[in-house]
Chain A
């Protein structure tokens, strides 16, 4: 189709007016945002506005008007996460290394400690109906009035009323002395006070004293060194943390690039290596067995249903695909109940019939068996439908020739049906393999990756790569290891890409696709 002619004048006029209004409103907000110095938003809105205008008025970009809305979501929630995941996998982004370096320096230089000779103030609180008015601080370092908002002023500037002359006023600026019990009630508020005083800060130490805390660290931007003022120890940046010569590391650290370190930990670090190998092996075994077994079952049933002399074929087919039509999460939770060792249906039947109990979900072998059994039940209808379609696509003549040659049913199947079927079904099997490879829902709802096989390792007997990745990020005994999860995700990406690559190469689907363009 050719690009459209310039549309009728009235519509054009309407468009121009509409966009002028939109631009005017947006510009107004841009000025407001610029006033507040929200540069990120200024940038985003300006870019969005420019994009919209170009889209609306450029004839060359006309097709993009149709693509842009979908692309927006695709980029935001598929492409961006992909890129972001790869980025994270090369950093140390995890609990303890979430901030930027400048934020870390800010956090550390605002840590304080109490030197032995820190000045001490005793204080009394004053207030009235409206609550706390101010604190009166006195000690060798002078007398001050401290307000709850952190303002500190000299005692001379206030009306102190000290009739008994004991150095503790009965009232300040007309507000009267509060009892210790009332001060105790205010302790939450008082603990939050952090008032700059000289080099350090003034903080509550007891309900009647405040002391001057000194900053613990000083940062020298020229040498890029952090010094502990208490001990004189120097810390230098190294791998995302400030580290002393003796190896002592300060927390928190910051985000920094670590190259392939995360990936190498899966190969070398005993904490991850064993788990990774075990999980990877099981993931492959699980995906292969699921696909092979459910395909075998599905194909068998398809052959059965493909028999034209079988009555009620339509009914049988409809009943056999029920597992496919029930939402998987519901079925899996049901199966989890059936497998339950104490109250489950399977053990109820087995106990009654044979007096035995099987530890379905609690030993590694049986838990893996249960996963595969459940998944075969969930997957075989798909395999059956696919096989049925493929069987029906095999031309009759193929069989007739074989009949003439006197081939038996079994030989017909091995030499004709199966090879032909495999050609059309192979890409779907590979797709199914890739899907099972990452079937988090089944593993998580059925076993949560359990049972535990190794004390201290987070990967259980039935964890697949994706559920292991999930545990590393969101179920942390060791915090959120986003970096390790991301590295694992990239490994999964590579595997998926390889599988898809093989699939494409085998079926030449890409060529078909290209022709279809």
Chain B
């Protein structure tokens, strides 16, 4: 019999390794598992909420979509998706334009431009929060819909932060697309923009998707700037609203919070696992981005 030949050490080692892996997995999963379980428990106190509810109900989820006073969950979710979606879509387009120019044209100041963008991008935008706050305040006095407590204002801020790194990232990808693809089109009389729009963009679809998703996720999770800029209950994003909703109320709002956390996380988890390999290579390859 074959397994007899393997020494005992082999089997113990194998067992240990699997055991270790499962301990780590337990550590990784227990918060999510606990929240998922208690989200079906109508008990609102974290002290008594049970991971396997004695009487599981969908009460917490129902509450989320009917309540409008203390938690306006559907609104916050919609706001978040709206802000993140617009930022990511516009950001992808702006970055693709810039990356195309850096990748295909040769012009004076190109190298300097690339290095400057890299340099500027190193400074986290959140550190300039006071200046951003004051700029939006000033802007809002002239153009009210772009000021503080507005979604377009917040999108404006996020767009600024999204440009640099992703332009670089996309330029790297564009460099790998053979130029011969566009050159034949150019010979046929297409303008560079047409070549960009009709040929390069379709070929670059995978990278566009990755940049879109990475930007979407990072805006979805952004807290500092959103909490600074958005001040109205109906304007909050999920990060701001959920934080204010739970506050210190773990003993009387846990159930509803858990349900909100499950829905809020599920959306991102779905996207993440659907595009797992592309997102991971994007996130771990370049720089560290939330």
With contacts A1-B192, A316-B25 taken as known, whether A328 is within 8 angstroms of B290 at the C-beta atoms is yes
Indicate which residue in B45, B129, B242 contacts A473 across the interface (CB closer than 8 Å): B129
Indicate which residue in B31, B122, B159, B224 contacts A470 across the interface (CB closer than 8 Å): B224
Contact B17 A310 (CB under 8 A): yes
Contact B101 A330 (CB under 8 A): no
Contact B123 A493 (CB under 8 A): yes
Contact B128 A386 (CB under 8 A): no
With contacts A310-B18, A466-B127, A486-B131 taken as known, whether A1 is within 8 angstroms of B106 at the C-beta atoms is yes
Within the complex, the shortest CB–CB distance from B25 to chain A, in Å, comes to 5
Within the complex, the shortest CB–CB distance from B222 to chain A, in Å, comes to 8
Within the complex, the shortest CB–CB distance from B201 to chain A, in Å, comes to 13
Contact B123 A82 (CB under 8 A): yes
Within the complex, the shortest CB–CB distance from A511 to chain B, in Å, comes to 12
Indicate which residue in A41, A80, A301, A329 contacts B242 across the interface (CB closer than 8 Å): A329
Within the complex, the shortest CB–CB distance from A142 to chain B, in Å, comes to 43
Cβ-based interface call for A201 (8 A): no
Determine the interface band of chain A, counting residues with CB < 8 A from chain B: 35 or more
Cβ-based interface call for B56 (8 A): no
Cβ-based interface call for B57 (8 A): no
Chain A residues with Cβ under 8 A from B120's Cβ? 74, 78-79, 82
Contact A70 B95 (CB under 8 A): yes
Chain B residues with Cβ under 8 A from A492's Cβ? 127
B residues lining the A interface (CB < 8 Å): 14, 17-18, 20-21, 24-25, 27-29, 31-32, 34-35, 45-47, 94-95, 97-98, 100-102, 104-107, 110-111, 113-115, 117-118, 120-135, 142, 156-157, 159-161, 163-164, 167, 172, 175, 179, 186, 189, 191-192, 196, 217, 220-224, 228, 238-239, 242-243, 246, 250-251, 254, 257, 261, 264-265, 268-269, 272-273, 276, 280, 283-284, 287-288, 290
Within the complex, the shortest CB–CB distance from A255 to chain B, in Å, comes to 12
Kindly state the separation between the CA atoms of A423 and B157 in the bound complex, as whole angstroms.
36
Contact A334 B261 (CB under 8 A): yes
Cβ-based interface call for A489 (8 A): yes
Contact B105 A329 (CB under 8 A): no
Cβ-based interface call for A62 (8 A): yes
Contact B156 A333 (CB under 8 A): no
With contacts A78-B161, A81-B132, A316-B25 taken as known, whether A342 is within 8 angstroms of B251 at the C-beta atoms is yes
Chain B residues with Cβ under 8 A from A311's Cβ? 18
Q: Which residue of B lies closest to A329 (CB)?
A: B239
Interface stretch among A182-190, A208-216, A396-404, A436-444? Answer: A436-444
Contact A74 B29 (CB under 8 A): no
With contacts A435-B290, A500-B122 taken as known, whether A67 is within 8 angstroms of B98 at the C-beta atoms is yes
Contact B130 A486 (CB under 8 A): yes
Q: What are 26 A-to-B residue pairs whose CB atoms are below 8 Å?
A: A1-B192, A62-B107, A66-B196, A70-B163, A70-B167, A73-B156, A73-B159, A77-B157, A78-B121, A78-B123, A78-B160, A81-B131, A310-B17, A319-B29, A322-B28, A326-B269, A333-B243, A337-B250, A343-B45, A343-B47, A381-B28, A444-B223, A444-B224, A474-B228, A486-B130, A486-B131
Chain B residues with Cβ under 8 A from A513's Cβ? 115, 118
Question: Chain B CB within 10 Å — which of A67, A88, A338, A444 has the most?
Answer: A67
Interface contacts beyond A74-B163, A441-B222: sample of 12 additional A-B pairs, CB < 8 Å, sorted by A: A1-B186, A41-B142, A76-B135, A76-B156, A78-B163, A85-B130, A320-B24, A434-B288, A441-B239, A473-B133, A474-B228, A497-B122
Indicate which residue in A333, A489, A493 contacts B261 across the interface (CB closer than 8 Å): A333
Question: Chain A CB within 10 Å — which of B34, B142, B287 has the most?
Answer: B287
Q: Which residue of B lies closest to A481 (CB)?
A: B130
Within the complex, the shortest CB–CB distance from A369 to chain B, in Å, comes to 16
Kindly state the separation between the CA atoms of A327 and B276 in the bound complex, as whole angstroms.
15
Give the top 5 A-B pairs by smallest Cβ distance, nearest first: A77-B160, A81-B128, A66-B101, A81-B131, A343-B47
Indicate which residue in B17, B32, B47, B111 contacts A348 across the interface (CB closer than 8 Å): B47
Chain A residues with Cβ under 8 A from B157's Cβ? 77
Contact A496 B124 (CB under 8 A): yes
A residues lining the B interface (CB < 8 Å): 1, 3-4, 7-8, 41, 62-64, 66-67, 69-71, 73-82, 84-85, 88, 301, 304-305, 307, 309-311, 316, 318-323, 325-331, 333-338, 340, 342-345, 348, 377, 381-382, 385-386, 389, 428, 431-432, 434-435, 438, 440-441, 444-445, 466, 469-470, 473-474, 482, 485-486, 489, 492-493, 496-497, 500, 513-514, 516-517
Kindly state the separation between the CA atoms of A249 and B76 in the bound complex, as whole angstroms.
47
Indicate which residue in B126, B134, B246 contacts A333 across the interface (CB closer than 8 Å): B246
Indicate which residue in B20, B156, B250, B273 contacts A304 across the interface (CB closer than 8 Å): B20
Kindly state the separation between the CA atoms of A1 and B191 in the bound complex, as whole angstroms.
12
Contact A63 B107 (CB under 8 A): yes
Within the complex, the shortest CB–CB distance from A426 to chain B, in Å, comes to 13
Within the complex, the shortest CB–CB distance from B242 to chain A, in Å, comes to 6
Kindly state the separation between the CA atoms of A381 and B283 in the bound complex, as whole angstroms.
12
Question: Chain A CB within 10 Å — which of B110, B186, B288 has the most?
Answer: B288
With contacts A310-B17, A434-B288 taken as known, whether A329 is within 8 angstroms of B221 at the C-beta atoms is yes
Chain B residues with Cβ under 8 A from A382's Cβ? 283-284, 288
Contact B164 A310 (CB under 8 A): no
